[in-house]
């Protein structure tokens, strides 16, 4: 071997060692040509004296604006600006301490997608979202069921708190199924790395926001899923967790400074009393307990009033939208976040991605409380800029009482009418996401005491009302369960694992009722895809009479009449009574039964049924 070759190998080895030992940089990369071109990079070294050094840059188009030290000398924050004409490449930051220089290389990538066209497209009332825990939907790749090095090595389908092995490949394998249901978007519980010792199946205790959990397929698997969806004209919804993290998050394990978390002398849980945030009589302590209290000891609460923390979270949120081609963001536990931070984060995302959809989880008990946390028409000192919310009010105070309460002056289906009458409080209620159930709530089939007729009525409403419908995996085939314990609402989708005795994808082993409800969802979901009135039309509702609730979805091109009979007897439909919307039409097609009717005939709808009519002119 020649001396020149040996020298070259030594230089190569030294370069590899330098790369391996360089401090970690967050965000781990960025892109040329972004609107967000001023960043605050967080550098983390193993050297406790690292922050005493000086940072320079040797890269055209990159300027270091300043640096910031923390109590922990391993960290350094660096403000940079990326010029509009900066080219993609490996940015060379030079760290100098005690006269010794070292290189910190940071990738500046070329953008590969087109925001608003190939990703960050948003979701709207034209979409239907299918929501799942990826660990519980389908196991498409058994080689990633356990990953060496992760703290949680559980794999036991008989234990609903262990991991079961579902992954991105399992989702990809069943994209046809989602489209048959009419779904146009997929939302999964958080897929970022959850390297916690236990209870990692739900994903909400993130330990590394720049790494997709390898048990799902890792970063590459998530990109493949995103690309697979987009090739079919479908969309990807990211579940974002800003409020808290997991105790094994690399920053929590070695804090830059104590004020990165909302610290208390002893563990203090959130009060979960959102009223303190808008109550004009509220105490400062109640406000603090609501926002700064922790959920559980395993989920430390970020101090989002700390600008370094805020920058870290916001830049990560932009990063994963760009990196993985995300189209919409669902924000976990939105009301527990610092609300000023929420506005700043939303504005930053929408500046970079104007068509991005953002909706928050606001799990409260009445409409004014929910409205406060979204764009609204009420006069309060604080005004939220959140575009939409998960509409728990339409669920708790709408469809649930409509199908579970005895009829009365203010009970039963009138509650559904009432809750939609509050829409005047929202800037745009069509941006709200409608749901029947999710991973934190009782399955709807259990709520209605396993009444198949009521389950069908609920889905008919979900797929015809205003807003963006969200289906929770398996409820379309009558999966049941209650939240005590919560694992019962997070069971495996039948047929998602090899040799499952029941298969909801093929129908094998499924009951007649399960298949009937699934077929109803497919029929209405498919119809909705092609219905301009259901996707974009206005809503007009008529006050229920004797348990008969009628509402219309309509625009200039189409009128759809929805009839819900919640009484115990059949009811006659008097089409003349609804002539504000039926005038000019002479016939209708029942989308559910396929029957064609004349509007001048005597039409009766049986007890506990919902029908959907498309108005016709003959």
133 domain-assigned: yes
Q: Mind listing the pLDDT tens digit for each residue in 128-146?
A: 999 999 999 999 999 999 9
Q: Is 602 found in the same domain as 477? A: no
Q: Is 70 found in the same domain as 162? A: no
Sheet of strand 38-44: strand arrangement: 24-26, 38-44, 75-82, 62-69
361 is catalytic: yes
Counting every residue written for the chain, the total comes to: 618
Q: Is 80 found in the same domain as 97? A: yes
Residue closest to 421 by CA, chosen among 367, 381, 473: 367
Q: Mind listing the pLDDT tens digit for each residue in 285-333?
A: 999 999 999 999 999 999 999 999 999 999 999 999 999 999 999 999 9
Q: Which domain holds residue 79?
A: 18-109
**Boundary (domain end) residue, out of 483, 499, 530:** 530
In the numeric block, which tokens belong to residue 386? 């959140």
Q: What is the CATH number of the domain that holds 599?
A: 2.60.40.1180
Number of domains in the chain: 3
193 domain-assigned: yes
Q: What is the CATH number of the domain that holds 278?
A: 3.20.20.80
Which listed residue (127, 361, 437, 514) is catalytic? Answer: 361
332 is catalytic: yes
Torsion (CA) 247, 253, 258, 261 in degrees, nearest 10? -30
Q: Is 219 found in the same domain as 312? A: yes
Residue closest to 575 by CA, chosen among 567, 593, 563, 591: 563
269 domain-assigned: yes
**Boundary (domain end) residue, out of 480, 511, 530:** 530
Residues 6+ apart with CB under 8 A from 144: 167, 214, 215, 216, 217, 218
H-type alpha helices, 143-281: 168-172, 175-181, 218-231
Q: Is 553 found in the same domain as 443? A: no
Beta strands 235-240; 185-188: pairing state: parallel
Q: Is 590 found in the same domain as 495? A: no
Which listed residue (322, 332, 338, 391) is catalytic? Answer: 332
Q: Is 511 found in the same domain as 446? A: yes
Contact 415, 393 (CB under 8 A): no
pLDDT at site 600: 84
Q: Work out the burial of residue 343: count CB atoms within 10 Å of its CB; fewer than 13 is exposed, 13-18 middle, 19 or more buried.
A: middle
456 domain-assigned: yes
Residues lower than pLDDT 50 in the chain: 4-20
**Boundary (domain end) residue, out of 109, 142, 167:** 109
Q: What are the DSSP calls for 277-330, one per residue? A: GT-TT--HHHHHHHHHSBSSTTSPBB-TTSHHHHHHHHHHHHHHHHHHT--EEE
6 domain-assigned: no
3 domain-assigned: no
Q: Is 133 found in the same domain as 89? A: no
Q: Is 385 found in the same domain as 240? A: yes
Q: Name the pTM for this structure.
A: 0.96
pLDDT at site 2: 55
Contact 122, 328 (CB under 8 A): yes
pLDDT at site 388: 98
Q: Is 488 found in the same domain as 570? A: no
In the numeric block, which tokens belong to residue 99? 């006269």
Q: What is the CATH number of the domain that holds 42?
A: 2.60.40.10
CA-to-CA distance for 571 and 568, rounded, in angstroms? 9
């Amino acid at each position: 071997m020649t001396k020149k070759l040996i020298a070259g190998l030594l230089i190569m080895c030294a370069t590899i060692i330098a790369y391996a030992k360089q401090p970690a940089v967050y965000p781990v990369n960025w892109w040329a040509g972004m609107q967000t071109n001023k960043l605050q990079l967080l550098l983390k070294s193993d050297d406790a004296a690292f922050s005493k050094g000086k940072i320079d840059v040797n890269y055209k188009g990159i300027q270091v604006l300043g640096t910031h030290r923390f109590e922990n000398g391993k960290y350094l924050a660096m403000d940079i600006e990326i010029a509009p004409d900066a080219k993609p490449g490996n940015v060379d930051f030079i760290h100098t301490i005690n006269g010794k220089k070292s290189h910190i290389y940071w990738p500046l990538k070329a953008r590969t997608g087109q925001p608003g066209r190939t990703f960050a497209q948003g979701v709207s009332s034209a979409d239907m979202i299918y929501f799942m825990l990826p660990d519980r939907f389908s196991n498409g790749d058994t080689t990633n069921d356990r990953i060496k090095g992760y703290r949680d090595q559980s794999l036991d389908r008989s234990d609903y708190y262990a991991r079961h092995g579902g992954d991105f490949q399992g989702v990809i394998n069943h994209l046809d199924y989602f489209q048959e249901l009419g779904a146009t978007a997929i939302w999964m519980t958080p897929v970022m790395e959850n390297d916690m010792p236990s209870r990692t199946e739900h994903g909400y205790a993130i330990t590394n926001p720049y790494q997709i959990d390898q048990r799902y397929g890792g970063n590459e698997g998530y990109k493949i899923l995103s690309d697979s969806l987009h090739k079919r004209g479908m969309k990807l919804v990211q579940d974002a967790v800003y409020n808290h993290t997991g105790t094994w998050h690399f920053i929590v394990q070695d804090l830059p400074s104590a004020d990165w978390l909302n610290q208390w002398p002893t563990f203090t849980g959130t009060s979960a009393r959102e009223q303190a945030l808008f109550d004009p009589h509220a105490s400062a302590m109640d406000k603090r307990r609501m926002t700064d209290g922790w959920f559980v000891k395993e989920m430390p609460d970020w101090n989002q009033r700390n600008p370094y923390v805020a920058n870290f979270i916001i830049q990560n949120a932009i990063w994963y939208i760009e990196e993985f081609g995300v189209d919409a963001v669902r924000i976990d536990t939105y009301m527990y976040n610092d609300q000023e931070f929420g506005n700043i984060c939303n504005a930053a995302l929408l500046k970079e991605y104007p068509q991005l959809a953002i909706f928050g989880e606001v799990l409260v008990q009445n409409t004014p409380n929910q409205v406060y946390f979204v764009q609204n028409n009420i006069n309060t000192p604080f005004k939220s800029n959140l575009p939409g919310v998960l509409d728990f009010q339409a669920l708790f105070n709408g469809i649930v009482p409509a199908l579970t309460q005895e009829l009365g002056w203010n009970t039963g289906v009138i509650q559904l009418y009432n809750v939609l009458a509050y829409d005047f409080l929202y800037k745009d209620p069509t941006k709200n996401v409608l749901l029947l159930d999710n991973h934190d709530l009782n399955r709807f089939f259990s709520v209605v005491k396993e009444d198949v007729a009521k389950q069908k009525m609920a889905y008919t409403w979900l797929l015809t009302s205003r807003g963006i419908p969200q289906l929770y995996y398996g409820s379309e085939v009558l999966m049941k369960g209650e939240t005590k314990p919560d694992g019962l609402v997070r069971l495996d989708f039948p047929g998602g694992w090899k040799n499952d005795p029941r298969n909801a994808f093929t129908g094998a082993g499924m009951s007649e009722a399960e298949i009937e409800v699934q077929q109803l969802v497919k029929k209405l979901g498919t119809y909705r895809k092609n219905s301009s009135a259901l996707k974009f039309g206005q809503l007009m509702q008529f006050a229920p009479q004797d348990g008969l609730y009628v509402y219309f979805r309509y625009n200039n091109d189409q009128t759809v009449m929805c009839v819900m009979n919640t009484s115990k007897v059949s009811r006659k439909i008097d089409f003349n009574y609804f002539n504000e919307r039926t005038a000019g039409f002479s016939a209708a097609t029942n989308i559910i039964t396929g029957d064609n009717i004349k509007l001048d005939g005597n039409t009766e709808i049986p007890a506990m049924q919902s029908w959907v009519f498309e108005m016709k002119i003959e």
